[in-house]
Amino acid sequence: MMTYYDDLDNDEKRVTAFFKAIEKKVHGICYDLGTGSGILAKKASKYADYVYAIEQNPLIADKTRKNLDKYDNIKFIQADATEYQFMENIDVVICEMLDTALIDEEQIPVINNVIKYAADNTEFIPMAVYSTIELINSKIMGICYYEDEHPKYTSLSDEVKYGMIKLNQYNKPEYEEDIQIKVKNGGLLNAIKITTYTILTDEVILEPTPMLNPPLLIPVEQLNVDEGETITINLKYTMGGGLNTIQTTRRYNK
C-alpha cells in the first residue's frame, strides 16, 4: 500500500525542484528539518560534509533511521524541530514543512527556532514563499483545498501577489493584510483562492505540485461585483496555527 511518504517521494516535480536547490546550495554542515523518508537528506549527503536529519513523527522514524544508517555522513535524530537545540555550526538548513500560505504546517515555528542558532551566511532551502489571492465564485461550504481540479470555480479576477515571507529570518506567525483586487469578470463573489509559490533558488520557483501547497478556497461574504471595480479583502491567519485561524473580511469599497 502506498503511504503519504511514498506519495511525497513520487512527486517528481516537487522532488526535482528541491534536488536542484540542494545541488546548488548544500555544503558543510547541513540540517534537514522534518526529513520524512529522508529523501532530501540523502541527496544532500552527496554535497555536505555532514547531514543531521531531524523528524518527530514516530510512525516514520524507525524506518527512516534504518534507511539513513547506511550513510556515513548522515545522523538521524528523532526530535521536535520547534524546540531542538542545535549544537553545531549550521551552513545549510533544508526545511520542507510547507503548506499553502504556511498556515497548516510548522515551517514558521521551526524556522523561528533554528534562526536563533544560524549564522549570517547560513543558507535556507527554500529561501522564501509568496502567495496570490484571486476572487472567485464557487459552491463551497467552508474552507477547502483545490485538488484534482475540484471543487469547480469561476474566476472573477487575476491572481494578485501578496505575502512574501523570507525563510532566513524570524517571522511573526500572525499574518494580516488588506489586499486590493480588481474585478476582471463581473459575477457573484463568494470566495477567494490562495495559491502559494516556493522560491527555492534565484532561478527555481515552484508552483503547487500534487503533494505541495494545494491552493486553498476560502468563503467570503458574498457580493455581486462588476468588471473594473476594486475589492479589498482583509486576510488574517496564523502561520503554523492551522486552517481554523483563517479569517476573511470583505471591506466596503462602494
Ligand X SMILES: C[S@@+](CC[C@H](N)C(=O)[O-])C[C@H]1O[C@@H](n2cnc3c(N)ncnc32)[C@H](O)[C@@H]1O
129 touching ligand X, by CB under 6 A: no
Among residues 53, 92, 103, 110, which is the contact residue for ligand X, using CB under 6 A?
110
23 φ, ψ to 5°? -55, -40
| Least distance from ligand X to the Cβ atom of residue 15, Å | 8
Binding residues for ligand X, how many (CB under 6 A)? Answer: 18
Cell numbers at 160, concatenated = 494578485
110 φ, ψ to 5°? -70, -45
| Least distance from ligand X to the Cβ atom of residue 168, Å | 18
220 touching ligand X, by CB under 6 A: no
3-state secondary structure 12-75: HHHHHHHHHHHHHHCCCEEEEECCCCCHHHHHHCCCCCEEEEEECCHHHHHHHHHHHCCCCCEE
How many CB atoms lie under 10 A from the CB of residue 131? 25
Tell me which residue has its CB nearest to ligand X. Answer: 34
82 touching ligand X, by CB under 6 A: yes
Rounded distance between C-alpha atoms, residue 57 and residue 15, angstroms: 20
Among residues 22, 40, 216, 246, which is the contact residue for ligand X, using CB under 6 A?
40
Subset of residues 16 to 35 that bind ligand X, contact rule: CB under 6 A: 34-35
Q: Does residue 240 contact residue 194 with C-beta atoms inside 8 Å?
A: no
Binding part of the chain for ligand X, among 52-60, 128-136, 145-153, 188-196 by CB under 6 A, reads 52-60
Strands (E), 171-226: 174-182, 187-199, 205-206, 216-225
Binding part of the chain for ligand X, among 36-44, 123-131, 141-149, 226-234 by CB under 6 A, reads 36-44
106 touching ligand X, by CB under 6 A: yes
Consecutive H or E run containing 53 = strand 50-55
198 touching ligand X, by CB under 6 A: no
Nearer to ligand X, 54 or 118 (CB): 54
Binding residues for ligand X (CB under 6 A): 8, 34-37, 39-40, 54-57, 80-82, 96-97, 106, 110
